[in-house]
C-alpha cells in the first residue's frame, strides 16, 4: 500500500518528516540512499516540484547530501553537527553568529515572561521573568534574511546588564553569560524545520505570504548541563556559516 499524506501539513513537509523520522529511528543510516525524486513522485503521487522541495528541505537541515552519479545519501551525525560546530566555534572566537558578508541589528532587548516553550527550554516556571534579545540579520544590500530571539533567565538582569541593551556584546551573548557565571560552554543543540511563513513572519523578512522558511530552535549548555541561552529563529533561503581560524 502506498504511503498516505495527511493534511493540513504541506505534502513536501510530510514527506520530509517521514524521511527525517526514518533517519532518527535508525531505519535509514549514514551512507544509505534515500528515495529519489522519481521514487517520491511515484510512491506519494506528488509533482516533481513537491518531491524536490522535500529533498531540498532535508539537505538544508543537513540530513542528506548529494552524491554525484548516485543520488542523495544520509549524512553522519558528525556531518549534521558540523554546521552548528562551525557556528559556535566562530562565535567563540569573534562574538559573531552570522555569516561573513552579513550583519545583524538588535532591535529590542528587555524583560518579558516565559511562555511554556521558553520555560521548558530554560528549566524555569511558566511566567517567570526572562531576558529577551531580538535580532534581525541582513545581507550586504539590506535585505533581511533571518529574525531571531534569544532568551536568558531573568535573574541575570543585574549580573549581566549588557543583555538588556541593544549594544553588540563583543564575545557573544552566551560567552558573556558563561564568563559572568564563571561557567564553561560545553555543548549546543540546533533544530531546524521547514515551514510555510505566517503573515507576521513573512512581513518581518519582507516575503510573500506562504513563502518557505526554516524555523529554528537552539540551546547552548554549560558544563553543568544548564542552558546558558535559548533561541528561536526564522530564516529565509540558504544560510552558510564560514570563517577562518583567528578571525
Mention every residue, 6+ apart, whose C-beta is less than 8 A from residue 205.
Answer: 144, 145, 146, 147, 197, 211, 213, 234, 236
Mean pLDDT over each residue of the chain, to the nearest integer: 81
More confident residue, 239 or 136: 136
Neighbours of 229 (CB within 10 A): 27
Of 28-32, 185-189, 238-242, the poorest mean pLDDT is in 238-242
Which ranges of 182-243 does DSSP label H, i.e. alpha helix? 199-205
More confident residue, 144 or 45: 45
Q: What average pLDDT does range 197-209 have in this prediction?
A: 84
- Beta strand residue intervals within the chain, DSSP E: 64-67, 71-74, 103-113, 129-138, 144-153, 185-196, 212-222, 227-235
- The pLDDT value given to residue 93: 42
Q: Distance between the two ends of the chain, CA-based, in angstroms?
A: 55
Q: Using one digit for the tens of pLDDT, what is the confidence trace for 185-202?
A: 877 787 878 888 888 888
* Separation CA 176–CA 80 (nearest Å): 27
More confident residue, 33 or 236: 33
* Separation CA 30–CA 81 (nearest Å): 13
Q: Exposed, middle or buried, 199 (CB in 10 Å: 0-12/13-18/19+)?
A: exposed
3-state secondary structure at position 33: strand
Share of the chain above pLDDT 90, in %: 26
* Separation CA 43–CA 19 (nearest Å): 13
Q: What counts of helices (H) and strands (E) characterise the chain? A: 7, 8
Amino acid at each position: 500500500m502506498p504511503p498516505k499524506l495527511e493534511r493540513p501539513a504541506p505534502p513536501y513537509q510530510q514527506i520530509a518528516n517521514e524521511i527525517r523520522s526514518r533517519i532518527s529511528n535508525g531505519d535509514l543510516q549514514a551512507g544509505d540512499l534515500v528515495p529519489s525524486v522519481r521514487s517520491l513522485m511515484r510512491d506519494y503521487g506528488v509533482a516533481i516540484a513537491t518531491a524536490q522541495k522535500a529533498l531540498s528541505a532535508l539537505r538544508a537541515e543537513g540530513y542528506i547530501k548529494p552524491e554525484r552519479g548516485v543520488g542523495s545519501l544520509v549524512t553522519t551525525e558528525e556531518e549534521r553537527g558540523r554546521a552548528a560546530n562551525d557556528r559556535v566555534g566562530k562565535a567563540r572566537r569573534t562574538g559573531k553568529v552570522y555569516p561573513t558578508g552579513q550583519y545583524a541589528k538588535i532591535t529590542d532587548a528587555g524583560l518579558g515572561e516565559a511562555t511554556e516553550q521558553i520555560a521548558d527550554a530554560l528549566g524555569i516556571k511558566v511566567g517567570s521573568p526572562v531576558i529577551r534579545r531580538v535580532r534581525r540579520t541582513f545581507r550586504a544590500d539590506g535585505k533581511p534574511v533571518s529574525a531571531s530571539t534569544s532568551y536568558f533567565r531573568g535573574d541575570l538582569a543585574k549580573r549581566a546588564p549588557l543583555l538588556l541593551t541593544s549594544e553588540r556584546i563583543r564575545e557573544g551573548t552566551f560567552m558573556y553569560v558563561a564568563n559572568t557565571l564563571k561557567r564553561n560552554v560545553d555543548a549546543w543543540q540546533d533544530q531546524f524545520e521547514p515551514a510555510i511563513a505566517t503573515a507576521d513572519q513573512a512581513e518581518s523578512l519582507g516575503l510573500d505570504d506562504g513563502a518557505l522558511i526554516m524555523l529554528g530552535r537552539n540551546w547552548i549548555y554549560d558544563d553543568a548541563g544548564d542552558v546558558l541561552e535559548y533561541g528561536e529563529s526564522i530564516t529565509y533561503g540558504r544560510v552558510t556559516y564560514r570563517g577562518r581560524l583567528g578571525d
